[in-house]
Structure 1
Amino acid sequence: MKRYQLPTARTLLTLALVGMAWGITPALAQQRDAEQPIEVEADQLDLDDVAGTAVYTGEVDIRQGTMRITGDRVEIRRNAAGELSRATAHGERAYIEQQPDPEQPVVRGWGRTIIYHVAERRVELIDRAELHQGGDTFDGGYLEYFLDRRVVQARAESEGVEGRQRIRMTLQPER
């Protein structure tokens, strides 16, 4: 496993990922996003209010402010207090994006599975994982982001995924 400590200059990437929290403070764009209505389009919804789950299937497109997540299937889980605890998107190319600040480029992430763990403030991109912001990119079989620590972990292989997907990273020079 390779670990990368993002340089302070790369906080743009971290700020973008912080916005994925959907309703957890401190990023400005995230606060604006959390105040926006959540819009969902899908072919089917299976809602279990007692279990705290909502499963959307069929070309799912969820938007809230600058936040967007898409997939063939998206499951939202809530804790006992009714707060979002985990969002999981599946698909050939599940997708997540957010613009952390109007002055910064949109952050885009892909994978066959995307999991956001709210309490841990951690995002997983699994199988054919990619993350792009401006000209900076991370690619691999498995990418994991620890938002508060600004740590990226990348692996060529992911559990349950066939074949190696070598890790690649491209960082553009500071301007």
Structure 2
Amino acid sequence: MMTRPLTTALVCAALGLASHTALALESDANQPIEIAADRLDLDDQAGTAVYTGDVDMQQGSMQLTAVRVEIERNAQGEVSTVTAHGSDSERAYLEQKPAPDEPVAKGWGDTVIYHAAERRVELIDNAELHQAGDTFNGAYVEYFLDRQQVHARSDDDGKGDQRVRMTLTPRNNQ
């Protein structure tokens, strides 16, 4: 999926997004969150925001693109989950830089869910993760950002069957 430049930025201050919502680099947490979309439906009392139409979300080194992005906040006003949905022709896409000396990790899925408190990403249906030269494919791929740990399986709770495939690249080839 190609990333697009932010054409209309909407700073999420109205959502009360907490600074720890960054996906990787510590410096990301201090960066503003910018979201561009065709439409926003915000319910501040419920703690939800739904962005639709060519959504592009960025904070520091983290970039998320999708057709639809739903953001949920907890009672303290902190982001608890970010759920991104792709379309029939294009998967949701997430990238982030785990550390200054590591390559960008990239993930695709029909659905991408980021769990802020756990710093965990779920890639669901047509899932693919590229991390440090290695690739992981399957129906479901789970990535723990802090531990850089990956779990993959061939089904997503009984729906479909996509064999898990992995390509490991020797570290001296990177």
**Are residue 37 (structure 1) and residue 37 (structure 2) matched?**
no
Report the AA paired with residue 28 of structure 2: D
Question: How much has 1:144 moved relative to structure 2?
Answer: 1.5
Structure 1 consecutive aligned stretches of length 4 or more whose deviation exceeds 3 Å: 146-151
In the superposition, relative to structure 1, how do residues 106 and 148 fare at CA in structure 2: closer, same or farther (>3 Å)? Answer: closer
Q: 1:1-175 maps to which residues of 2 (within 5 A)?
A: 23=20, 30-92=25-87, 93-147=91-145, 150-159=148-157, 161=159, 163-175=160-172
- Counting aligned pairs with the same residue, the percent is 64
Normalising by the residue count of structure 1, what TM-score does the alignment of the two structures yield? Answer: 0.78
Tell whether the 8 Å contact from 1:22 to 1:30 is kept in structure 2 after alignment: no
Distance 1:164 1:114 in 2: 18
Tell whether the 8 Å contact from 1:128 to 1:139 is kept in structure 2 after alignment: yes
Distance 2:72 2:100 in 1: 29
Aligned residue for 1:101, secondary structure, equals: coil
Distance 2:85 2:111 in 1: 5
Aligned residue for 1:45, secondary structure, equals: strand
Question: How much has 1:103 moved relative to structure 2?
Answer: 2.8
RMSD of equivalent CA atoms: 2.2
Aligned residue for 1:23, secondary structure, equals: helix
In the superposition, relative to structure 1, how do residues 59 and 22 fare at CA in structure 2: closer, same or farther (>3 Å)? Answer: farther
How many residue pairs align between the two structures? 152
Tell whether the 8 Å contact from 1:156 to 1:165 is kept in structure 2 after alignment: yes
Report the AA paired with residue 77 of structure 1: E
Question: How much has 1:34 moved relative to structure 2?
Answer: 1.2
Q: 1:120-170, CA deviations, whole angstroms, 9 ceiling, x for partnerless residues?
A: 332110000001134210110001234455542211111374x31110011
Structure of greater relative contact order (alpha carbons < 8 Å, 6+ residues apart): 1
Report the AA paired with residue 169 of structure 1: M
Report the AA paired with residue 49 of structure 1: D
Aligned residue for 2:27, secondary structure, equals: helix
